[in-house]
């Protein structure tokens, strides 16, 4: 993550990751939230949502959501975007609307929030998932809430989405993933101990996996301590469910 980049941060795990990034290597990062808060320093208290006034206390700017989504994100003033992807398919399309048929779903999900705009206009888009369950990675989502590459990169381009938008990477507990020239997800590096079989089992389609996977460096003790502090801080604020 570029330490000086303006980053549009979505709800939940992206907010945790942004705080960790600030403490580890990007203290000067400027964060824009969906409701218009522009946060240029780490707050002492963990915000429970992009609308939490904790994030606005001492903020440089507090504009409306329309300003954030269109004057910042849509106008290209944001260099990186972080969006949670609870259900994401092989082309980076995200579903946060409904599992099953839209009119009679098996599960009704919370909906878009600003996720549609982030998927449509976000530059340097990083998708974040905490899941390794193949149900979170279907071949094709039931409903596209936040567009990835739709049916492929050429389809996204043909519909008029600006160059530089669309998902660039996915991060999940296994490691890092990119998108190839066709706009399909593939692994770029995994955490120590993750196998080819682990990667294949995670996805609901026959994902292309090289025989040899690049391995990410293990975090050091100081990095782990900071991550654990932020997770505990989030749990204290009821932002994350407590561990058993």
Task: Provide the residue-wise pLDDT of the chain in tens; the chain has 244 residues.
Answer: 554 588 999 988 999 999 999 999 988 888 888 877 888 878 888 888 777 778 777 677 776 666 677 777 888 888 999 999 999 999 999 999 999 999 999 999 988 888 999 999 999 999 999 999 999 999 999 999 999 999 999 999 999 999 889 999 999 999 999 999 999 999 999 999 999 999 999 999 999 998 888 999 999 999 999 999 999 988 888 766 544 3
Catalytic residues: 34
pTM comes to 0.91
Closest by Cα among 85, 184, 87, 182 to 125: 85
Q: State the Cα–Cα distance between residues 125 and 240, nearest whole angstrom.
A: 23
Q: Where are the domains of the chain?
A: 6-236
- What DSSP line would sit under 94-128, residue for residue? B--SEES-SSS-SEE----TTHHHHHHH-BSEEEE
Q: State the Cα–Cα distance between residues 170 and 57, nearest whole angstrom.
A: 31
Ramachandran bin of 166, using left for φ above 0, alpha for ψ from -120 to 50, beta for the remaining angles: left
DSSP 240: S
Superfamily for 6-236? Glutaconate Coenzyme A-transferase (3.40.1080.10)
Strand 107-108 with 98-99, pairing: antiparallel
């Amino acid at each position: 993550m570029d330490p000086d980049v303006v980053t549009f941060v979505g709800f939940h795990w992206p907010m945790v990751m942004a705080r960790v990034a600030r403490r580890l290597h990007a203290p000067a990062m400027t964060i824009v939230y969906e409701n218009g808060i522009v946060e240029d320093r780490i707050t002492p208290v963990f915000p429970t949502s992009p609308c939490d006034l904790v994030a606005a206390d001492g903020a440089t700017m507090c504009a409306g959501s329309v300003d954030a989504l269109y004057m910042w994100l849509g106008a290209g003033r944001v260099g990186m975007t972080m969006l949670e992807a609870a259900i994401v398919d092989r082309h980076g399309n995200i579903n946060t609307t409904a599992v099953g048929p839209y009119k009679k779903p098996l599960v009704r999900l919370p909906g878009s929030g600003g996720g549609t705009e982030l998927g449509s206009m976000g530059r340097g888009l990083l998708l974040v998932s905490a899941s390794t369950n193949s149900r979170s990675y279907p071949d094709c989502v039931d409903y596209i809430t936040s567009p990835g590459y739709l049916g492929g990169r050429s389809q996204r381009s043909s519909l008029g989405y600006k160059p530089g938008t669309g998902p660039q990477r996915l991060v999940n507990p296994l490691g890092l993933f990119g998108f190839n020239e066709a706009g399909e997800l593939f692994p770029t590096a995994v955490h120590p101990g993750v196998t080819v079989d682990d990667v294949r089992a995670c996805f609901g389609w026959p994902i292309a996996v090289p025989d040899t996977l690049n391995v990410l460096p293990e975090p050091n003790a100081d990095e782990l301590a900071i991550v654990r502090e932020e997770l505990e801080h989030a749990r204290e604020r009821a932002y994350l469910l407590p561990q058993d």
